[in-house]
Amino acid sequence: MSEPEKISPWSTIWLHPKLTMRHILDNFPTRYNHLLVIGGAFTHVIAYSISWYSWWLTVVVWVCLSIFSGLFTLYIGGGLLKWTGSWLKGQGSYQDVRSAIAWSQIPVLAFFIVEVIILLIVGGDGGNLFYTSVLFLLSLWTAIVFLCCLAEAQKFSFLKALISSIITGVIIVAAIVILMLLISAFSPDVAAPGGAVQTTEQT
């Protein structure tokens, strides 16, 4: 596995994520980045799918959400991971981090296919132990592959990659909470107890 000609990112990233990531960064760091993140985002959009008035409108909404979510993850998420990683003495460039995010989507795409097959075989009952166990293991492995790719891109340890990801997640959640509070504070309607809307009206 040490010979570059034996490295195929589509297969070797599963068991040799660091070696594969280094091969990608040295040879084609920007290849397929957009397609991979949009494809990975599409699997999440499908999981929380909303049916609209017609099938074509539903597909258009799915595609638009996937593009927005994927590019947000690649550029905003990548920037935050680069920033928090620098606190831990990470040496990777912004492009390196984006490549790690993109290529770690390969297991996400593959596991989505596996999940669909499992659902067709055993059904989608959330209480199904087999389905839940397999989904948990696949999700865990996907996270491990991502952290290994990030660690290689930033040239630091797996633990630092985990810490950097946690800090980034906290920043994103905090930003969302602050944004929601600001929207709520400047909203003209104030919800009253019981779900009614209070309006100030003088007679």
DSSP conformation letters of 43-78: HHHHHT----SSHHHHHHHHHHHHHHHHHIIIIIIH
Q: Note the pLDDT of residue 51.
A: 54
The torsion angles phi and psi of 190, rounded to 5 degrees, stand at -115, 120
Higher pLDDT, 57 or 171: 171
pLDDT surpassing 50 at residue 191: no
Higher pLDDT, 120 or 184: 184
Between CA 97 and CA 100 the distance in angstroms is 5
Locate all alpha helices (DSSP H) within the chain, ordered by sequence.
Answer: 9-12, 17-27, 33-47, 55-71, 78-87, 94-103, 105-122, 129-154, 158-185
Between CA 43 and CA 73 the distance in angstroms is 14
Q: Across the chain, what does the average pLDDT equal?
A: 83
Q: What is the pTM of this model?
A: 0.81
**Helix, strand or coil for residue 190?**
strand
Between CA 174 and CA 84 the distance in angstroms is 15
Between CA 152 and CA 157 the distance in angstroms is 8
Q: Note the pLDDT of residue 124.
A: 55
Helix (H), strand (E) at residue 197: strand 197-198
Beta partners for residue 191, in sequence order: 197
pLDDT tens digits for 61-85?
888 888 998 999 999 999 999 999 9
pLDDT surpassing 80 at residue 195: no
The pair of structure tokens assigned to 103 is 């290529």
Helix (H), strand (E) at residue 191: strand 190-191
- Dihedral sign (CA 131, 132, 133, 138): positive
Q: Note the pLDDT of residue 76.
A: 95
Instruction: Give residue 201's pLDDT band: very low, low, confident or very high (50, 70, 90).
Output: very low
Domain coordinates of the chain in residue numbers? 4-187
Task: Name every residue whose Cβ is closer than 8 Å to that of residue 119 and which is 6 or more positions away in sequence.
Answer: 131
